[in-house]
Structure formats: structure tokens, C-alpha cells
Structure 1
Amino acid sequence: MLFRGWEAAVDGPWPDVATVVDGVGGTHLVVTRHALVRQVLADPVTWRPDNALDAVTPIPVAALRVLTGHRFRLPPTLANNAGPSHPEIRAIVAEALHPDRVAAQRPWLTALVRTRVAGIAAELAAGRPVDLHARLAADLPLLALARLVELPDAPVGAVKNFARAALELFWAPLDADRQQALAAEVGRFHAVLREFAGAGGGLAARLRGAGHSPDVVVGALFFLLVAGQETTSQFLTLLLHRLTGEPEVRAGLRAGTVAVADVVEEGLRLEPPIVTWRRVAATDTTLGGTPVPAGSSMLLWLARAGRDPEVVAEPAGFRPGQRGSRRHLAFGAGAHRCVGAQLARLEAAVVVAEAAPLLDAVTVVRPPWCPDNLTFRMPDAFVVRRTSRDTVADTPAGEGA
């Protein structure tokens, strides 16, 4: 993460608002306290979301030409939309992800996860290492999303490659050659989305029926595929890894003294897949006593806000059900709060309930590694192997953050 080098940038405890330079020379005001992060998220007039999807590394002309060749455009739709169209677009997407429709997916999701866990258990019992990210977490949210929101008919691998490429292109420090390669990957699938936006059913048809342009339809699908299902994949992997280092929590799950839902919320607090989110100051103002000039890039440190001692009793400890655990900001807050929160919670709850027993008898062979990225953690793998039940995982939970 880009934050790896930032801890040393501040002498002593982090202030509520700090000036930090990112890996490509961009300057941000980093907001660390829970109350101030929430204040910014709740006020889209003073703190606009216009820069939410801006590329962290400015995209050079060569890569822009590649994107233009695929008619790539990202108009204000969801995360980057503070205009009058946002409530209606959000309402249409939210209806597709209505809690009742999400809850109806539980039997299907449970059966799928249970089948996968049984296969993983057999491989572990045979002495083979297993990548829990690839075998369990990577495609699960995409499959669930596809049941709720009609998506283009494309191979799962192609969609996943597109989503990860977009997260890297827009939020990572990059050189020009890498940007051009990513632009080609993102542009190719964006063309698929554009074709689907004009004739596809489901959510695309509902947005068209409400009078929204193909660009808006593409933008909504883009955000669901990139920052929707991909972040849930990341969270599932990070949470499972964290649980390998929490034997008391796993024991509580077995005994029924620890609730699955509390484990999920504590995981969201301590292992959020979205570490930061951006806003831009619309006017000269102040935040927590700090002067903020108009146009300032505000970087809301969601992960650090989840460890605010004024909110949670034991900030660093994984204590499901503790005071303040559910007040995390992993899904944001305010008008742009994640519309897929209930779906992500369901997927995590099912995975914890079905897969946690696997972790009682494994050693971590390869913990998740996360590349430099301003916002997303993007774990690449999580490999475990079978050991005796009294063997403690040999890699500290949380490594790779």
C-alpha cells in the first residue's frame, strides 16, 4: 500500500488532518479521525466526489489514445456524481440490490460455498496446498452479482482481469508502459460494456428505460464490476487470512458464543478492502481546525478511522461484538454509501460460517500480498496447507496491509 511509507512521514501520532505526498507527487490532505471522515462523507456539497475516479497517475497521451479508441468515457454516475441525476441512478441500482433480493440468494450461495469448502478440505487432507483466494473468494462475488444484475455474457476470467486492471490503472502509481497495457485491457472490456448497455436486459434496461444515456449505463456497470464485486473478493480473502491468526474467535464460532455477523463487522473494521476514498474541497473551508483551500484533494483514511479509540473500545484487537465495532466506515457514509453493502455482508457471513472450520488445521504458506495502490488492497493469493490442529499459523494476521 502507498501508506507503507507514510507512517514515517509524521513524527509521533498522526494529526486529525495531515498533508501527505503520494507515490507520484500528488498532494493530499489525509483525514484520519472517524468523526471528521464521516463529516466529509456526509456533506457532498462542501466535499464533492468529483475526483473519486480520477487517475492517481496522470494518464499519458499514448494511453489516452488507446482508451479513446475504445470510446472509453466515465461520466458522473455513482461514486463520482454530485449532480441531480445521482439519486435516480442510485435508486435504480439499489432496487436491483434490494435487501430482499439479496437475502433470497442465501440458499444458492451457501450450497456453492459448501461445495467449494468440501473440495478444499479434501485437497488439504491429501497434503496439497490450496490457494483460498483463487479457489473460494476470487469469483464468488461476481457470480452473486450476476444473479442480481444481468451482466454481459463474458468469461469470469475476462471480467476479473478487467476489474483488477481498472483498479490498477486509476488508483496505482504506474509507469507509461504499464499504463498503456492496462488501458488496452480496460478499453477492450469497456467496449463490451458499451455494446451491452445498448441492448442488454436487467439493470441496463432499467437505466435505459429511465432515460439515461448509454454512457451512464456503462458507468454504472463499470463501477459495480470494478469497485463492487472486486472489493468483496478482496475482503473475503483478507478476512480469512485474519482469522488464521484469531484462534479464540474461531473457537467462539465453533461454540456458538461468537456471532458470525459480529465477525464480519469486526473484519470490515480492521481489514477493509477500500483503505481510503477521495473527495475534493469545493470552497475554502476548514476541517477539524485545519484550513482547507478550495480544490484540495481530501484523502479519507477509512481504515484508520476504524481504529479510532474514541469510537472502538480495543482499536487494534479483533474483538467481535465490542463497543463501536459496527461504526466502521468500510462502506462509506452519506449519499454515496455503498449500495452493495448488504450483498457483501451476506457473502462474508456465508464464507465465515462455512469456511472458518478449515482454518483450525492449516498453516499459512503464502499470505496475501497487496501491491502499491492509493485505495484498494488487491490481495493476489492466500495459500494454506494442512497441519495439526494445535499448530498456530506461522504468518502474523494482517501482513501485506
Structure 2
Amino acid sequence: MLLRSWAEPVDAPWPDVARVADHVGVEHLVVTRHALVRQVLADPVTYRPDNALDAVTPMPVAALRILATHRFRLPPTLANNGGPRHPAIRSVVADALHPARVAAQRPWLTALVSDRVARLDAALAAGRSVDLYADLAADLPLLVLARLVELPDAPVDAVTRFARAALELFWAPLDADRQQVLAAEVGRFHRVLREFAATGGGLAGDLRAAGHPPDVVVGALFFLLVAGQETTSQFLTLLLHRLAGEPAVRAGLRAGTVAVADVVEEGLRLEPPIVTWRRVAAVDTTLGATAVRAGTSVVLWLARAGRDPATVEAPYAFRPGQRGSRRHLAFGAGAHRCVGDQLARMEAAVVVERVVPLLDGVRVVRAPWCPDNLTFRMPDAFVVRRAGAPRATAGPGLTEPSAAPAAKRSSGRAALFGAEQRSGSSS
């Protein structure tokens, strides 16, 4: 089993660096300490990003053929680019997501979220359950991105299916049949991206004007849809679920003694949607007391680093504003730090401001369930009902989902690869 969700604190001790074999027998160095994770992220020469898109489950020929049929290709672009062209590509994307442009979207987003909250509040008052993922968070980041960078003219559900399929195809443990299904989904939408990259405006047009080839334009759009849409919607869902169980924090928000920005940062520290990221050692080196051979896969446990007692005062407590809270690595660090960090923060702040009052007096009908995945948490639903409200049948667009099958529920424990970790103090 790959890394699971952080539903509960992990009580098992881990060394600073551990050697762990994955589900197909490949050995990785798993780095858990904040200082060492940051050291790797800040050194793109020693630790390269070339393996960022390597499939965790090697793809069989049948899946590769499906991707080839759709002319699927993702050259080094953003997260997987350790070459000299990375800064120029990143600069164009950063301009599209400039903090001033992001801030200009806040009034529009606030109005949209407020409207959705009013409808959710009415449904709760009528005794219906609401899914704060499907009915609120699932498409918000995509709608904001569409205003900032222009996106292919495709239905929202098609974009979200593609993004989730990509996260599963490259980062989840899979069987061959599932890989073929996902390859077809990703390949079909890749064709849409390719067509848009050739003629689209906004970011696609800016990249073309800067002289970047079509594959780079497609790659940039791919990463934006995966990172800018899916991970942000995941974080919003995970943060709301966490706040549903933090009445003191909600009371502090109401009283003005807890800052929204501090809540967002503490959420990023404790509930990051990206729990690990990968690098590959380019040369023989040493990490802490561990010898690292060139070619070694290095898995940076970002979520664990956020709970490092050497960095944060109360590692497992949700205490907005506490010492070390903002030193999390949810957005990475160094040359590949997430270029959309201010966008994600803005979206989360609006959701906290407008949605948290809705959580008072509700009970959780179904907590988010996250499937096995090395890097992404991918919550599927977050269903609540107002305590004491008369039970009613579901209204339009607000369904009454059943609980997830017990066999698919997360245990709440984080475990890497289903194997015993070994200290990485020697090679």
C-alpha cells in the first residue's frame, strides 16, 4: 500500500532517511525531516526533478500503445524540468498567475462562493445532506483558472475526470486493466490540450509568442490542470473536513481572534493535498548520514516534514499562528516551488471566510476517503447534515450519497509502500 491520508497522527517512529521498497520492488530513499527535505528541494543540481512524472506502477505495452495512439507526450516543462529552459517557461506561467491578477479575482470568487453557501445552507436547513466536495469545492479552482489563463472549451466534468485520471495513472498502484482505462481517459484529453495549444489564447498564446514549441505549451497546460485545479480542490475539501472537527478554531474565526490566513497556513501544514514529491540523485552524494548513489529515487515526505517537532511547536495540533506553522513545504521550495501558491491561498481564504460558518451545528455523514496514492490524496466526497434538522429527500443537485464500502476506507494510518522501513544511515 502506498502513502495513505493523514486522517490521524502517525505514531510509528521514522528515521530521518529510510530505505523502502515499493509495491513492485523498487527501492526508494524516503526523507522525513524538514531540514533534509528542504535541502533536497533547494539543490536541483544534485537532486533532479526528472522522475516527477515516472509512473509509480510501470506501464505495460497495452497502456503505452493507447497513449501513443493519442500522441501523448509530456516533455520536460515545469515540475519535471531540470534543464536550462525551465526558468523561461516558468516566467511566462508566473506572469499569468501574478499576485495582482490573482487578487483581482477575489471579489468574483467571493460572490460565487457566497451564492453556493446560500444554496447549501438552504439544503441543510431543509434536512438534506450536502457534499462539500462535489457541491462546492470540486470545480472552484478550475473556474478561477479559466479566468486567469484561458482553458480549452471543455465541460468541467471532463476536465476534472482527466485531472484525476492523470493523478491515478502516474502516482497510484494499479493493475493492467485500470491502467488501460486511465490511459484512454488521459490520452483523449491530451488531444484536446494539443489542439488548444496550437490556436488558444491566454497562457497558450503567450507561450507560443515566447517561442516555446507545441509540446511545451501542452505540458504547461497539463501541469496547471493537475496542480492548479485538482490539488487545490482537494485541499479545500481536506481543510473543511479538518475544520469541522475544530470548534475552537471556528469560534476564534467568529470572534476575530484567529486570522483566516493563519488557518489556511496551518491547514497547508497539517492537511496538504500533496504528501510526497520525488527527485532522483544525479551524482553520488550524502544526505544527512546516508550515502546516496546516483540514480536513486528520493521520495520527499512533505506531509511528515510539516509535522517535524524541530520545526513546529505543536506538530499534531491545529493551532493557527503557532511557531513554525508557516514553515511547511506544501508548495515545495527552491526553483520548482509551486508557481500558483498565492492563487491557492486566495481560494482557500475565501472558502474559509464564507464556508466555515456553515460547519457550525453539522455532523459528518461521510468523511473524505482517499485512495492509495504515492503523492496525491484525492478525497472523493465530504458529506454533512445539519444536526437536529428534519430529514428530507434530496433536492436537485444535492444527493444523498451512501457511505463508501468498508473495504475501501482508509485506516487513518500513514504507511509507505506496505513494507518495513529501514534506516538509511548506510548505503
State the AA in 1 paired with 2:349: A
Aligned twin of 2:306: 306
SS, match of residue 13 in structure 1: coil
Q: Which residue of 1 aligns with 2:245?
A: 245
1:66-104 CA distance string (max 9 Å, x none): 000111001000000010100000000000000000000
TM superposition shift of 1:11: 11
Q: What is the DSSP-based 3-state SS (H/G/I as helix, E as strand, rest coil) of the residue aligned with 2:360?
A: helix
Q: What's the CA shift string for 1:116-154, capped at 9, x where partnerless? A: 000000000000000000011000000001110111000
Alpha-carbon distance between aligned partners in 1 of 2:380 and 2:52, rounded to the nearest angstrom: 24
User: Equivalent residues in 2 for 1:18-29 (5 A)?
Assistant: 18-29=18-29
**2:170 matches 1:170:** yes
CA gap of 1:11–1:202, structure 2 versus 1, over 3 A, is closer
* Matched residue type, 1:214: P
Compute the displacement of 1:226 (Å).
1.1
2:5 and 2:377 in contact (8 A); partners too: no
User: Deviation string for 1:360-392 (max 9, x for gaps)?
Assistant: 110000000000000000000000000159xxx
SS in 1 for 2:295: coil
| Distance (Å, rounded) in 2 between the aligned partners of 1:359 and 1:45 | 46
Name the aligned partner's letter for residue 211 of structure 1.
G
Distance 1:5 1:260 in 2: 24
Give the distance between the partners of 1:224 and 1:13, measured in 2 at CA.
Answer: 35
Match of 1:323 in 2: 323
2:42 equivalent in structure 1: 42
Deviation at 1:228, TM superposition (A): 2.0
Q: Partners in 2 of 1:357 and 1:5 — Cα distance?
A: 26
- Identity over aligned pairs, percent: 82
C-alpha distance in structure 1 between counterparts of 2:259 and 2:5, whole Å: 36
Seen in structure 2, the aligned counterparts of structure 1 residues 278 and 192 have a Cα distance that, compared at 3 Å, is same
Secondary structure of 1:230 counterpart: helix
Residues 17 and 32, structure 1, Cα contact 8 Å, conserved in 2: yes
Distance 1:25 1:141 in 2: 36
Between the aligned partners of 2:204 and 2:286, the Cα distance in structure 1 is: 41
SS of the equivalent of 1:205 reads: helix
CA 1:116–1:399 in structure 2 vs 1: closer, same or farther (change >3 Å)?
farther
Aligned to 2:257: 257
Indicate the residue corresponding to 2:191 in structure 1: 191
What code does the residue aligned with 1:239 have? L
Tell me the secondary structure at the aligned position of residue 274 of structure 1: coil
Which structure has the highest helix share of the two? 1
Alignment of 1:277-288 (within 5 A): 277-288=277-288
The count of aligned residue pairs is: 390
- Report if the CA contact (8 A) 1:368-1:399 is conserved: no
Question: How far off its partner does 1:5 sit?
Answer: 11
Q: For 2:170 and 2:98, how far apart are their aligned partners in 1?
A: 29
What residue ranges of structure 2 are gaps of 5+ in the alignment?
A: 390-410, 415-427
* 1:363 maps to 2:363: yes
Distance 1:11 1:96, change over 3 A: closer
What is the CA deviation profile of residues 307-350 of structure 1, one whole-angstrom value per residue up to 9, with x for unaligned ones? 00011000000000000000000000000000000000000000
After TM superposition, give the deviation of residue 227 of structure 1 in Å: 2.1
Cα distance in 2, alignment partners of residues 227 and 201 from structure 1: 20
| Residues 4 and 370 in structure 2, CA contact (< 8 A), matched pair in contact too | no
Distance (whole Å) between structure 2 residues aligned to residue 385 and residue 111 of structure 1 = 24
Alpha-carbon distance between aligned partners in 1 of 2:11 and 2:272, rounded to the nearest angstrom: 25
Mapped to 1, the partners of 2:156 and 2:412 lie a distance apart of 28
- Does 1:70 pair with 2:62? no
1:321 match: secondary structure: coil
Compared CA separation, residues 5 and 345, structure 1 to 2 (3 A): closer
Answer whether contact 1:258 1:320 (CA < 8 A) is retained: yes
Given residue 237 of structure 1, which amino acid in structure 2 is its aligned partner? Answer: T
- Aligned residue number for residue 51 of structure 1: 51
On the 8 A contact 2:302/2:330 being kept in 1, the answer is: yes
For 2:132, give the aligned amino acid.
L
Q: Which runs of 5+ in 1 are unaligned?
A: 390-397
- In structure 1, what residue type is equivalent to 2:357? P
Partners of 2:39 and 2:247 in 1: CA distance: 36
Q: Which moved more, 1:15-24 or 1:109-118?
A: 15-24
- How far apart are the structure 2 equivalents of 1:257 and 1:99? 26
Q: Residue in 1 aligned with 2:181?
A: 181
Taking the aligned partners of 1:272 and 1:12, their CA distance within structure 2 comes to 20
- Does 1:149 find its partner at 2:168? no
For residues 173 and 193 of structure 2, the distance between their equivalents in structure 1, rounded to whole angstroms, comes to 26
Contact 1:19 1:30 (8 Å CA) reproduced: yes
Letter in 1 for 2:154: A
Query: Using a 3 Å threshold, how does the CA distance of structure 1 residues 399 and 137 change in structure 2: closer, same or farther?
Result: farther
Under a length normalisation based on structure 2, what TM-score does the superposition of the two structures give?
0.89
2: distance between equivalents of 1:359 and 1:142? 24
SS in 1 for 2:28: strand
Shift of 1:22: 1.9
Distance 1:158 1:336 in 2: 28
Where 2:189 maps in the other structure, the secondary structure is: helix
- CA distance, structure 2, for counterparts of residue 360 and residue 17 of structure 1: 41
Work out the CA distance in 2 between the residues paired with 1:289 and 1:182: 40
Distance 1:75 1:267, change over 3 A: same
Greater length-normalized contact order (CA 8 Å, ≥ 6 residues apart): 2
Distance 1:349 1:311 in 2: 24
Aligned position for 2:85? 85
Look up the match of 2:397: none
| Shift, 1:165, TM fit | 0.3
Q: Which SS does the other structure have where 2:339 is aligned?
A: coil
Indicate conservation of the 8 Å contact 2:238/2:379, yes or no.
yes
